[in-house]
Structure 1
Amino acid sequence: MAASIDPVELARELIRCPSVTPASGEVFDVLDRALQSLGFTVHRWVMGDPPDGPTENMVAIRGEGSPHFGFAGHLDVVPAGDNWSCDPFEARIEDGVLVGRGANDMKSGVAAFVAALGEVEQKRGTVSLLITGDEEGYSTYGTPRIIDWLNERKIRPDMILIGEPTSVDRLGDTVKIGRRGSVNMWIEVPGVQGHVAYPHRTTNPIPPLARIVAELSALHLDDGTDVFPPSNLEFTGVDTPTHASNVIPGAATAQLNIRFNNLQKGADLVRMVEEVATRIAPDAKVRARISGEAFLTPPGPLYDLIVDAIREETGEAPELSTSGGTSDGRFLIQLCPVVDFGLPNATMHKVGECAAVEDIQALSRIYRRIIERMVG
């Protein structure tokens, strides 16, 4: 054990580095110093141009050979927003609670794992940290590029723990064993702009778009599975170029998102939306961005490792869940089994985001138990 690291103090230091996605620079310097003090070899690189970049990635490795246990996380955060009771990057502790943007999602999780590493004498195998600055964005230059880096060097973890905040009511009550896929789509129906008093000289795109929205909203995609809820399609926006009350617009657009289980594929869902849109409005155009496919880690050693560590520390028997949003597990699953586990997530992305100091410390102890079983 090369150094002793306080998880709460490291989390505060990370939070004090504003790192709205895509992130690079100072926040990675803080983590770099902590990991080098623990004997890690740290690799960092920045890539990409705005708007999806520049993004910094980090791979830190200690040890060699098998077993290889990986930890994945991110240092970028969503914008702070307004109406905080304190500076969102002050990292204030109030009544036993650490307050700040990233305290919950997920700088405290990264800090807890790093502190746990300082408590374990690594006797065998390899430990790695796969840290990106673009999880909250489109991940264009984030975790997929880390995977490229690993593949080029023929480095492959045996299992990966992602430190996302997964607990619901109490630390340890929920572990994510898979995630739904996600696809965003934009439907544009063209028209001919003109004065509302002369509709015969225009083509109004709004009625056909409304029929598209109604038909897609009425679709029943599936009934879900034993481990996944039903897939759902939700419209998130409808707009026209002009908002004048006396103008028929020259185009109308709708935005939607589908969160889907492993009964569906992103490309199939895109084709389904295209078919409905062009049948109703032949000139309609559909643009899509698939954020990731649904994935599931089958029961196995990684489940047992994490569940046992949680039960020993908290007495909880965690629920194995696939609910919630996506994570970078959608990319990392191509390398090895992946499970998400971390802090209670009630305040993630909210104004006043926070994490209980006691939970951060307990999470670090759970991570320590996991690391000890793998490489101690």
Structure 2
Amino acid sequence: MSTETKINLKGLELHELEKLVQQWGQERFRARQLMLWLYHKRATNFDEMTDIAKSFRADLMEKAYISQLKLITKTKSAIDDTVKYLFELQDGNRIESVLMYDQNRVTVCVSTQVGCAQGCVFCATGMMGFARNLTSAEIIDQLMGIEADLGGGKKATNVVFMGMGEPLANYKQTMKALRLMTDPEGLMVAARKITVSTLGLAPKIKAFANDGLKVGLAVSLNATTNEVRNRLMPVNKRYPIEEVLPAAKEWALKIGRRVTIEYVLIRGVNDSPDDAHRLCQILHDVPSKLNLIPFNEIEGSSFQRPEPERVEEFREIAASRYYVVPVRLSRGRDIVAACGQLRTQYRMET
């Protein structure tokens, strides 16, 4: 039986596994055993599952498989030890994921789509176009694949959904991946150590609030007027600033965490003192923290990174509202792995 007709056990939640093993004539507790082997012991084949009866293992080999992403290339930054991974999916599509180090933190940045349909003009992924959504298994396999590459049982301390694609546009699979990551019987990543970034799909932000997962939320704002945001982010024509920020506020109040506002600074576009003052004004009642991100240059774009003095001037004005305003270090710029730079060919043959 080929993998096309077999069931991938990775990416299934406990209740789904319980239903599946019962369909196969097994007791429900077998599902918990499988979860333990898949996510705690990181089994890559059924022969490793030594406390499961040989007859059931033989059944599993016939009916199911355990997915793994194929690592194509791994590129390490000479500046800050950031590592960019190029993975190939089962259908030949390719995605990129990033491993970053910052003092005691080890952060994995995962993708949620092959390409992106949103078309943000300052983002390399947006220039690729869109191929398809990733499955929950393909999302968690990025984290598991990178941790396997680290070796020695090393684990990421933080996970950010800030790679290729818009996570909330792939809502069902993103939520499933998040539940598997945070499940004590799954990957056991603390919810407070996970952040999901969105460009501002207001209805999905509200749904995210209602679903109640205590993971972090980052909203990519990048402008203080609809006129500028329309130009940078076509999604703003559907969900303008006056819809995005109330949705972000609703999320913050329901979840009990401050939303992170991400603001990419682009020279001569959104980096003026007036922009900084306006930003403080429109965020005055949103429980939030602010991250400033100087634009990372991408091929095919005429946008430029602001001068450091301009960034500092903007930061000082914003600090009147936020007190502490970090300017994000652009890790992996030399290997095209920084914020907004991820882009790859969809398929091996293209």
- TM-score by structure 2 length? 0.27
Greater per-residue helix proportion: 2
Higher relative contact order (CA 8 A, sep 6+): 1
- TM-score by structure 1 length? 0.26
Bigger radius of gyration among the two: 1
